[in-house]
Every structure is written in structure tokens, then in C-alpha cells.
């Protein structure tokens, strides 16, 4: 299936107390094409003193085979490589971390960009940024995702120039192969102040913008920023309120939002007065024309129940903000999404002593990775990391917990969303008896077709700014920016493939979509959406028919193609009973399944007894009963089952009454 704004049927923290792995070992064949390249724009060692900024990072092997890694540390000042570390034989499901403060080959007070290359298996990475770890009341904690792909257009919904005591440092890394000329367009929230700054960045290197030292920026102002570059960029924004006179320093970090073509953006978590924390949602127009954002929300664990129309015409690059703290809504935790156009969403959550931020997602992925999950790491008041998993259009997900130390799978749990898109479910490691205290995990989320997103809240009870957050990570593209491709290039039937296209006219609309279906006529659709501001467009396809599939996207007189291969499935679904009021099926033992019934008038039975997600028993049987339906004619049952990110379905008729 293709997932856009609607579903179209095509075919049924780390702390330094951890033990660091050994340094460089056997040299790698550096002329090989890496399986994955990850960019870390901001890595430091004791920046600001012995208890200054330290940025340990964690790399997780999310593939099925072992892999070899190289870490290249590039000096901020000139982009020169000052150290290369090699790790060989990182096993599937396991992680490695690097502690800059523990690295005697890096200079104290140094600031670096890092390029990670994996040879043999895909990887993901997360960076935790800490200051004043020895002084809990003044500790600062931030977290950001390692970057696997970038864009020539990157959007920053919030950059503060000493507004409310906060200043935000913008750190841009060149993910391309040639020097990048970068222009940063700043626009104040009220639209009255603008500025344009420029930077030149060597390939793989980083440069920063600090509002405190930019005379063209006005102190006391909140800006939205649009970055334009001749090479693809990845960006991290670090926001601080940590003047020495401030008794409660706070900080948060977020990843810059790449230009995108989706018209729904999902954010798994927002709070109003929860443990003193409240969220402000910042929505930036990343499209090429003015648009009206619509903010939708509902309580965690429940359906989306409320929507609010934003301003009628938010200009490209401009923002609209919604502060839950200023609303008359009841206290509580919520999930949300934004519709109405191409929007970046930042959720900025603060208390008087803490701050954390993350950006929304649009990927519709059926695999999401969380490299660093902890349960009371460092003791009872140590780091614990609740996970918030949000349905996009997926009806179920399995969460797999792998112990960090040895990669062993210690627990698998099922999350059920039913037919409630954008619902979020909170998972606290402390509530799971199969997990142990003072332990670190890597987590993989596998979802049904339609996909999920996730955010990790990293919290401790030691005082100070003991909160940070990072976004769940999707599989990296199989090709770099500018090359149309699908990820993965091959997978089993029932999997989802994310296809990205480049070189289309920015803003062109409508979009014509076509996909080959072996043994059938091509599926075609015209979609009333527009090409992203960087000339890209992406779709997620849940494919069933075996063989080579070619996807073509056309807009504004230009067409681009990409391909993937669908291999034999590992299981199937067969309906064994279909009658008014009951349906049964057989599938793989342990698969998660959902059923629904379509009546002759094309409406659906709304019984909660039918929509519940069930697990197939030890021989693969699963069944539902629900109130019989009145009327006459022929209706249809549908059953879908999911395991390991692979979704299959079947249908069967039944008669009314």
C-alpha cells in the first residue's frame, strides 16, 4: 500500500561509568562502499573545562549480520581528520559507544564532527550531550539523532536569540562530497525581523551559528530559520539557558527538519503540567506556498478527539505556535499530529528546572530503532527512558528489547492501536518485570503496514536539568541525496518500502504516481499534493506481489523512477470461518492480527469486539465474535496479521442477516 494523507489500496544516555570498547583494531578496507554512513555534527571533549560538555554516542547494529565500523573525528576549525577509530565484528543487535572524555587521543576542550561508516550491516546512532555531570543541581542534558541523510533545504522551527534567557546554537554538517555554501534565513515569529547569514562548510565538516555573537540578530527574539545549501546538510540545534547567574540551568536539543512532501506530521508526546512539565508546539511551514495548519490531539492511550485550526495563511518558512500551558485544557499527556500542508513540528517541553525537545515525523516506517534505552541506569535515581510509540496508520507494533551488553533479546511486547491513527502508547521500562534495573537496552519496533513513530524521554531524579529526548530512527536510505531509490532494495512480501525521489520541480502539483504490479495492470493515482521545497518526494509502499517493482513519480513535466524487489513471504493468512457475527483465521503462531467487516453499503461494523488486536495461538488460530448485523446481502470479512514488520491479509464473504 501507499501511505500518504490517506491509505490507498494497491495490493492486498549513556554515562561514562559504562565500559568502553577497545580502540582501533584491524584496519578496514576503506575503499569499500559503506552500508551506512552516519554524521554527528557536534562531538566534544571537556568543552568548557573538566566538567564541561561531554558527548558520548551509541551506535547500534540494526541488521542481521555483523559489521565493521570506522569513526572519523574532524576538527571544527578546519574539518581536518584528527583521529580514526575502527571497530570490527559488531554483532547483530549489539551496540558500541564512544566516550570522548575517555579518549586520550582527543584534545581536552576540543569540538568535532564525526563521520561513522558501517561496512556489512545498517546501523543507527544517538548522541547524549552532558555538562556538569559532577554537579547534579547544575547538570544539563541534551540528546540528538545521528544523521543518515540530509537535504539542501533544512528547517529550524525555533532558534532563540536570548529570548527568555535561552540561546540556540545551530550546528550544520556537510553531508555531501564537495564544499557547501550555506545560507541561513532568519525570520522572527512576528515576521518583523529578518536576517541572512552565510557559511562555507567542507565535506564532512561542521560550522556553527551562535546568536550571541551575530550582530544581525536581535537579542530577545525567537526566530524560525530556513537553511539553503549547495550540498545536503544535517543540522542539530542546541538551546541553552545556563548563564552562571542562573540557579537552574536548562537545555534541549533537536534535529533540523528536512524538506518534506507529506501533509501530515506526527508527534508522539505533549504534556500539560505533568511532573511540572508543559509543552509548546511550534509549527513551521516547510512548503513553497502559504498553508493553514490544523493541530489534532488526544490523550495518551486514546483516540484523537480534538482539533484546532491555525492561522489561515502561514507563509513559507514562518511559524504558528500553540502553548498547552496557556490553554484551558485539563492537565495530562497527549499525542498529536498536524495536517493541512507540509509542516515541521517541534515539541518544546519545559519545567522550571528542565527542558527537552523533539521534532515530529512523517516516514510511515514499519521498523523504528531506539539505540539507547535504560532502566534506572546508575542507581534508583539514575536514567530511565520511557518510550512513546505512536501509530501513524499502523494498527499494531511489537517492541523488542535487546540487552546492550550482549545483544540478547530479553522481552517482546505487543502494542495495540486498533483503528485509531495517531494514538500514542507510553511504555515505561520500570513497569516491565522482564527487564532489570541499572541496565541498558537497544530497542527495535516492528509495525504493521501504515507504520509508527516513536520518541524516547530520557529522565533521571538527581536534580537539575534531568530531562532530554530523542526521536526513533528509521532505516537509512540506500542512496544519498539526489539519487532516487527505495529502502530497502529488497525485502519479503508484506514489508514496507520507503521510496525517495529527487530532481523534481519544487512545489509542483498534482503528483502522478504509478507502480508496476507483476501479473497485473500498473496501479496509477493522481495525488493532490506537491513536491517538497528541495525537489524531493517520498512515498511508503506496502507491497505484496512478488518480483521487481518500479515506482514512477511525475509532477511539473518531470518524472523520476526507483525500484525494489519483493521476495517470498514467510507466512500467510487464511480465513477458515466467515459468518455474520464471527470470523476465524489461521496464520503464523504468535502473529498479531486484527479483523474488520465491510457491509454491503460499504460501511464498516463498528463493534469494539471486532477491532481488537489478538495474538494467534500456538497453532496459528485466531478468532473474533461480535453482535450479528441486521439487513441483507453479502458482506466481507478482512483479517490482517503482522509479525517481524511483515503484514499479510485475507478476505472472505458472508451473508446478512
Domain positions in the chain are 260-473, 485-567, 574-656
DSSP at 528: S
Q: Which residues, including other chains, have CB under 8 Å from residue 431's CB and lie 6 or more apart?
A: none
Least confident of 26-35, 77-86, 254-263, 566-575: 26-35
Phi, psi of 100 (to 5 degrees): -55, -35
* Residue 458, Ramachandran bin (φ over 0: left; ψ between -120 and 50: alpha; else beta): beta
Task: Give the class (CATH, top level) of 574-656.
Answer: mainly beta
* Element of type H or E holding 284: strand 278-285
Closest CA to 343 of 425, 254, 393, 281: 281
With 60 as the cut, is the pLDDT of residue 616 above it?
yes
With 60 as the cut, is the pLDDT of residue 381 above it?
yes
With 90 as the cut, is the pLDDT of residue 18 above it?
no
Domain 485-567 has CATH 2.60.40.1930: yes
Phi, psi of 476 (to 5 degrees): -75, 155
Least confident of 22-36, 207-221, 516-530, 632-646: 22-36
Which three three-digit cell numbers place residue 4?
Answer: 500518504
Residue 548, beta-bridge partner list: 565
Which three three-digit cell numbers place residue 320?
Answer: 504558528
Write down the pLDDT at residue 476: 85
Beta strand 547-555 pairing with 485-487:
unpaired
The predicted-structure confidence for 53-67, as pLDDT tens digits, reads as follows 899 999 989 888 999
Beta strand 646-656 pairing with 633-643:
antiparallel
Average pLDDT, the chain: 91
SS3 string, 84-141, reads EEEEEEECCCCEEEECHHHCCCCCCCEEEEEEEEEECCCEEEEEEEEECCCCHHHCEE
With 60 as the cut, is the pLDDT of residue 478 above it?
yes
With 70 as the cut, is the pLDDT of residue 295 above it?
yes
Query: Band of the pLDDT at 27, cuts 50, 70, 90?
Result: very low
With 70 as the cut, is the pLDDT of residue 492 above it?
yes
Closest CA to 118 of 214, 48, 2, 37: 37
Is residue 396 within 8 A of residue 594, CB to CB? The reply is yes
Q: What is the mean pLDDT of residues 141-164?
A: 95
Q: Do 485-567 and 574-656 come out as alike in CATH topology?
A: yes
CA torsion sign, 392 to 398 to 401 to 406?
negative
Closest CA to 627 of 574, 594, 582, 570: 582
Write down the pLDDT at residue 32: 67
The predicted-structure confidence for 515-559, as pLDDT tens digits, reads as follows 998 888 999 999 989 999 999 999 999 899 899 999 999 999 999
The predicted-structure confidence for 235-250, as pLDDT tens digits, reads as follows 999 999 998 888 899 9
| DSSP sequence for 349-394 | EE-SS-EEEEE-B---BSEEEEEEEEESBTSTTSBB--EEEEESS-
Query: Band of the pLDDT at 1, cuts 50, 70, 90?
Result: very low
Query: Band of the pLDDT at 13, cuts 50, 70, 90?
Result: very low
Closest CA to 18 of 50, 54, 53: 54
Least confident of 11-20, 97-106, 122-131, 386-395: 11-20
Which three three-digit cell numbers place residue 240?
Answer: 541553552
- 3-class SS at 496? strand
Q: Which residues, including other chains, have CB under 8 Å from residue 206's CB and lie 6 or more apart?
A: 41, 42, 74, 76, 79, 113, 171, 172, 173, 174
How far from 214 is each of 20, 71, 193, 198, CA to CA, in Å? Answer: 39, 32, 14, 11
Amino acid at each position: 500500500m501507499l501511505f500518504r494523507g490517506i491509505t490507498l489500496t494497491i495490493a492486498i544516555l549513556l554515562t561514562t561509568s559504562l565500559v568502553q570498547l577497545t580502540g582501533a583494531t584491524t584496519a578496514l578496507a576503506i575503499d569499500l562502499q559503506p552500508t551506512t554512513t552516519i554524521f554527528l555534527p557536534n562531538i566534544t571533549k571537556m568543552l568548557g573545562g573538566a566538567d564541561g560538555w561531554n558527548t558520548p554516542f551509541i551506535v547500534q547494529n540494526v541488521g542481521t549480520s555483523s559489521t565493521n565500523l570506522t569513526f572519523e573525528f574532524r576538527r571544527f576549525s578546519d574539518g581536518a581528520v584528527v583521529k580514526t577509530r575502527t571497530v570490527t565484528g559488531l554483532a547483530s543487535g549489539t551496540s558500541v559507544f564512544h566516550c570522548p572524555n575517555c579518549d586520550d587521543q582527543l584534545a581536552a576542550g576540543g569540538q568535532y564532527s564525526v563521520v561513522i561508516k558501517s561496512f556489512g550491516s545498517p546501523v543507527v546512532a544517538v548522541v547524549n550531550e552532558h555538562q556538569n555531570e559532577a554537579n547534579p543541581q547544575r547538570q544539563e542534558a541534551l540528546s540528538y539523532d545521528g544523521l543518515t541523510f540530509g537535504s539542501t533545504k533544512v528547517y529550524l522551527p525555533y532558534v532563540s536569540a536570548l529570548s527568555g534567557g535561552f540561546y540556540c546554537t545551530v550546528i550544520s554538517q556537510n553531508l555531501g562530497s564537495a564544499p557547501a555554501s550555506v545560507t541561513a534565513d532568519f525570520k522572527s515569529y512576528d515576521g518583523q525581523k529578518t536576517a541572512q547569514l552565510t557559511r562555507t562548510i567542507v565535506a564532512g565538516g561542521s560550522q556553527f551559528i551562535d546568536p550571541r555573537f551575530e550582530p544581525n540578530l536581535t537579542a530577545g527574539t525567537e526566530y524560525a530559520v530556513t537553511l539553503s545549501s549547495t550540498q545536503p546538510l544535517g543540522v542539530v540545534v542546541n538551546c541553552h539557558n545556563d548563564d552562571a547567574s542562573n540557579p537552574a540551568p536548562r537545555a534541549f536539543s533537536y534535529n533540523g527538519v528536512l524538506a518534506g512532501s507529506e501533509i501530515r506530521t506526527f508527534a508522539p508526546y505533549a504534556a500539560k503540567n505533568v511532573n511540572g512539565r508543559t509543552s509548546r508546539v511550534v509549527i513551521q511551514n516547510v512548503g513553497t506556498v502559504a498553508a493553514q495548519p490544523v493541530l489534532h490531539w488526544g490523550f495518551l492511550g486514546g483516540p484523537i478527539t480534538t482539533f484546532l485550526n491555525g492561522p489561515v495563511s502561514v507563509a513559507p518558512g514562518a511559524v504558528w505556535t500553540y502553548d498547552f500551558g496557556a490553554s484551558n485544557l485539563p492537565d495530562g499527556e497527549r499525542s498529536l499530529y498536524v495536517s493541512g500542508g507540509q509542516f515541521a513540528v517541534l515539541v518544546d517541553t519545559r519545567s522550571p528546572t528542565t527542558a527537552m525537545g523533539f521534532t515530529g515525523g512523517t516516514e510511515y516506517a514499519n521498523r523504528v530503532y531506539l539505540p539507547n534505552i535504560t532502566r534506572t541506569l546508575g542507581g534508583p535515581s539514575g536514567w530511565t527512558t520511557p518510550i512513546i510509540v505512536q501509530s501513524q496508520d499502523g494498527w499494531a507494533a511489537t517492541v523488542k528489547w535487546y540487552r546492550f551488553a550482549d545483544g540478547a533479546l530479553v522481552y517482546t511486547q505487543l502494542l495495540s492501536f486498533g483503528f485509531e491513527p495517531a494514538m500514542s502508547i507510553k511504555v515505561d521500562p520500570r513497569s516491565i518485570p522482564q527487564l532489570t534495573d541499572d541496565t541498558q537496552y537497544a530497542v527495535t519496533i516492528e509495525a504493521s503496514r501504515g507504520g509508527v513513530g516513536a520518541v524516547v524521554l530520557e529522565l533521571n531524579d538527581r536534580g537539575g536539568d534531568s530531562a532530554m529526548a530523542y526521536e526513533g530512527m528509521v532505516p537509512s536510505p540506500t542512496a544519498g541525496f539526489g539519487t532516487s531509490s527505495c529502502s530497502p532494495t529488497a525485502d519479503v512480501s508484506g514489508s514496507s518500502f520507503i521510496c525517495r525521489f529527487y530532481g523534481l520541480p519544487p512545489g509542483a502539483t498534482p503528483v502522478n504516481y504509478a507502480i508496476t504490479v507483476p501479473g497485473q495492470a500498473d496501479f496509477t493515482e493522481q495525488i493532490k499534493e506537491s513536491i517538497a521545497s528541495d525537489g524531493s518526494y517520498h512515498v511508503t509502499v506496502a507491497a505484496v506481489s512478488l518480483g521487481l517493482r518500479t515506482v514512477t513519480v511525475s509532477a511539473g513535466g518531470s518524472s523520476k523512477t526507483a525500484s525494489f524487489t519483493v521476495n517470498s513471504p514467510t507466512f500467510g493468512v487464511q480465513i477458515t470461518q466467515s459468518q455474520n457475527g464471527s470470523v476465524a483465521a489461521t496464520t503464523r503462531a504468535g502473529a498479531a492480527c486484527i479483523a474488520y467487516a465491510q457491509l454491503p453499503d460499504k460501511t464498516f461494523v463498528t463493534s469494539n469486539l471486532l477491532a481488537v488486536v489478538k495474538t494467534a495461538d500456538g497453532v496459528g488460530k485466531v478468532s473474533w465474535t461480535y453482535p450479528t448485523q441486521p439487513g441483507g446481502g453479502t458482506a466481507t470479512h478482512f483479517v490482517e496479521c503482522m509479525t517481524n514488520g511483515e503484514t499479510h491479509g485475507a478476505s472472505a464473504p458472508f451473508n446478512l442477516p
